[in-house]
Structure formats: structure tokens, C-alpha cells
Amino acid sequence: MKTTIKTITAVLLIICSTILPGQATAGNFNLGVGVSSDISSSGLGINRSPKLIVGYKNHSFAFGLNYQKRNMNFSGFQGVYKYVFPTCQTKRSDLFVFGDGFYHQTAYLGKRFVKSENYSDRDNNYDFENINFKVIELYAGFGMNIWMTKHLSNSFGIGMGMHHTLESSDACKSMIRENSGASLLLKCGLAYTIKKHTTN
């Protein structure tokens, strides 16, 4: 399964880098690829996501597969909407607001949360390391793009939102981790866009 997902990811990136450039016209549309790394207080550890990016004027939407850093587990999907403020653009940077959504079909606890659960519940026989969850996460926040070249940018962002556990095992009833609650998100990413970065 993991080999299949990695193959699909590689194929999508190849398609985007070879076929899509010919589709990006001189108009207001833009296309690109990116990869991001995110961590939240949902208890699921670090996520990494290769994405396809579609932009229109100051708006962009990115969608991709979601992998947990722990064992490179394919957990689900991630989608991101960004709006860049035209009055805050320079040749080297711009400011944006974003909305971020995760859907985890099969996610595991991050390593730090596994240690915390084992420490707080020493008499329990549950194997917290192998318990999986079905979780959604939704966030809104702001961040900055730093343009290293006219096509390549690095981004950093922070957001607030919530996580909600749709399905979990009976072991969750005795866990420190909340099945639903407010959550903080930290994210960074690298993106390559076909059109050159320009200021309005």
C-alpha cells in the first residue's frame, strides 16, 4: 500500500512538471507543485504533504496526500486555501491568510503523545503506539512567503482551529488526548510555481 501511494505521488509530480507548464497561459492562472510540513496540537505528530497548486490572481488552492512523519504513514489528504494581500507584496516576500483542512483516514499518535499516554496510564495494557484514529482538522491563520527565486518560495504560517475524532478505539476513553478540541497549527513549506513572482 505504501509503495503504491509513493508511486502515485511521484507520477502526479512528474505530470505537473512536464504537462502542466504548457497549460499555464499568460493570463491570471498559475500552476505549481509544493511540499509542506505541519504540526498541530491534535496529538498526531508531524505531517508532510506533497501538493499540486492552482492559483488565480492572489488566490491559490493546494491539494495533496498526507503522510505522518512517523513511519511515513499515509493517513489521508490535505487541502489549503491562501489569499495573498496585494498591498503587502515585495520582490522578496508577501503576507497571506490561509485556511487549512486535514482528513486523516488512518492516523497514529505522534511519538511524544505515545510517551505521555504510556506514562500516565502505566497499568493499562493498551498499545498506544498502534492505535489509529479517523480525524478531521480545520484551521485558519496567517503567514509569509519568502521568494528565493522568481519561481521558488519558502513559506511559514501559524493558525488556530480544531480537531475532531470521528472514529477511535475503546482505548481512547482513558487517554489524555482529547477526542475533540481547540488546536494550534504550525506549518512551513516549499513551492515551485510556473509563472514568475511579480508584485502588483
Question: What mean pLDDT comes out for the span 7-14?
Answer: 52
Question: At 151, phi and psi to the nearest 5?
Answer: -120, -20
User: What's the CA gap between 136 and 166, in Å, rounded?
Assistant: 7
CATH dotted code for 2-193: 2.40.160.20
pLDDT-wise least confident of 52-61, 161-170, 181-190: 161-170
For 49-92, write each residue's pLDDT tens digit.
Answer: 999 999 998 999 999 999 998 889 999 999 999 999 987 778 78
Rg (CA), the chain: 19
More confident residue, 15 or 124: 124
Domain borders along the chain are 2-193
User: What's the CA gap between 198 and 200, in Å, rounded?
Assistant: 7
Dihedral-angle region of residue 8 (phi above 0 means left; psi in -120 to 50 means alpha; beta otherwise): alpha
Q: 36, 49 in Cβ contact below 8 A?
A: yes
pTM of the model: 0.80
Name which of 119, 114, 115, 89 is nearest 198 in CA terms. 89
pLDDT of residue 23: 45
For 26-46, write each residue's pLDDT tens digit.
Answer: 467 889 999 999 999 999 999
Question: What mean pLDDT comes out for the span 127-146?
Answer: 91
Give the Cβ contact number of residue 34 at 10 Å.
22
pLDDT reading at 47 higher than 50: yes
